Amino acid sequence: MGSMLPTPPTIADLRDAGVRDEEVIDWQPAEMVWRVHRTTGTHVLRWNGLRTFGPILRFDHHPTPRAEHPGYGIWYGASSPRGGLAEAFRSSRVIDRRRGDPYLTGLRFIRPLRLLDVSIGEGTWATRVGGNHALDSAAHGRTQDWARTIHRAHDDLDGIVYRGRFAGGICVAITERAADVFPALPALSLPLSHPGLSGPIDSAAHQLGYTIT
């Protein structure tokens, strides 16, 4: 898939191209954002913790090689619980409610975020700057190159908004520039093993074709 997405332009060219109003989503604090995260085991991050180790995932903007990069942090969230589950368990396609004691956490950011729209709205930023909408599906090595270039070219952006590859819903990837957006407490945070979540998890698994353990 990586070959379908060209290499990114230079930082200077991306900066010259700018970002138009319709290419940015102003993510409002009223919108809930969901995340599924482990609470025990190795490499556990708090619900509001930005991961400084990378690059690993699609829009990780950490320098290479993969290592601890204290100046760079990334946090991924989804616009629905189903999206959070889809992303968290995408590799095995099994929703494991026990291993790592995973939690589903929902929160609202405390200020609006400026997020570059690479695939969801009317904006055609990716095409305009020489890329395409494969940004949400191409090989991670290539999309990380784009994420690094975007991050270095546009210091007024808090991150990226994109279409999740597994649930098709809207996802966000925010960087260390948005470390101040988290509330003191989430709106909701429950272990996946909580009886109150069995209905939503069952329906998400059914829609996604995932199994549950």
Which residues form the domain of 186?
A: 2-212
Return the half-sphere exposure (C-beta side, CA atoms, 13 A cut-off) of residue 206. 6
What local confidence, expressed as pLDDT, does residue 2 receive? 45
- Residue-wise pLDDT tens digits, 91-145: 899 999 999 999 999 999 999 999 999 988 777 899 999 998 889 889 999 999 9
- Residue-wise pLDDT tens digits, 70-97: 999 999 999 999 999 999 999 899 999 9
Total domains in the chain come to 1
Give me the amino acid identity at 53. Answer: F
